[in-house]
Amino acid sequence: MVFYRRKLPHWQPEGMALFVTWRLSGSLPAEVQKEILQSEPGKTFLIADRFLDKASKGPLWLNDPTVAAMVVEALKFGESSLKLYQLVAYVVMANHVHALWIPNAPLSKITHAIKSFTALKANQILGRKGKRFWQDESFDHWVRSEAELRRIVRYIEYNPVRAGLVERVENWPWSSATGRTK
């Protein structure tokens, strides 16, 4: 099992699926960060995710269809060409990304490859130069059972529905649910 710590602990048991979430730089305002710091252990992700889903201000660069489509293509490229992981589910929201994958490489290598490439391309698309795109650290959780994996797939793919962006999961174009038979 690989373990390292930055601000958050990162566990990567060999052969286990990982649920990973990363967000745009500056997407959590100070008051939400303060609430997270004061929250009970285990509530951090839920507080941040609830805010991110409902955010109507702050950086929302993933609302740009060209940027969102590029991030989806990068996720698929990471699986098909780079062979970094088996991609199980994903969704690109306005200010964050959820992905569920079975890694073939260390998490730090995977997130560096995806985030550095997409940051460079997104900043080019948006006409931004020399500015941070993604928050440095990602949230990750290793999946402990098949039932939990299925629950996380539903959580990821229903994210746009819960956020009130679409009525049906298959209507969100930047998700693994698009085109999937339900």
User: Which CATH number covers residue 147?
Assistant: 3.30.70
98 located within any domain: yes
Neighbours of 92 (CB within 10 A): 26
pLDDT on residue 180: 67
19 located within any domain: yes
Tokens of 18: 């990982």
130 located within any domain: yes
Rounded distance between C-alpha atoms, residue 98 and residue 9, angstroms: 18
97 located within any domain: yes
Give, in order, the Cα–Cα distances in Å from 95 to each of 104, 110, 148. Answer: 27, 20, 25
pTM of the model: 0.88
The identity of residue 98, as a single letter, is H
Could you tell me which residues come within 8 angstroms of residue 99 by beta carbon, excluding any fewer than 6 positions away? 19, 20, 21, 75, 87, 89, 90, 156
Do 146 and 61 meet the contact criterion of CB atoms below 8 Å apart? no
59 located within any domain: yes
pLDDT on residue 182: 46
Sign of the CA dihedral running 20, 21, 25, 31: negative
Buried b (16+ CB within 10 A) or exposed e, 7-36: eeebebeeeebbbbbbbbbebbeeebeebb
Range of the domain at 126: 2-171
Rounded distance between C-alpha atoms, residue 169 and residue 156, angstroms: 10
179 located within any domain: no
Give the total number of structural domains in the chain.
1
Q: Tell me which residues of the chain have a pLDDT lower than 50.
A: 4, 10, 181-182
The length of the chain, given as a count of residues: 182
pLDDT on residue 10: 47
99 located within any domain: yes
44 located within any domain: yes
The string of pLDDT tens digits covering residues 123-162 is 999 999 989 999 988 888 889 999 999 999 999 999 999 9
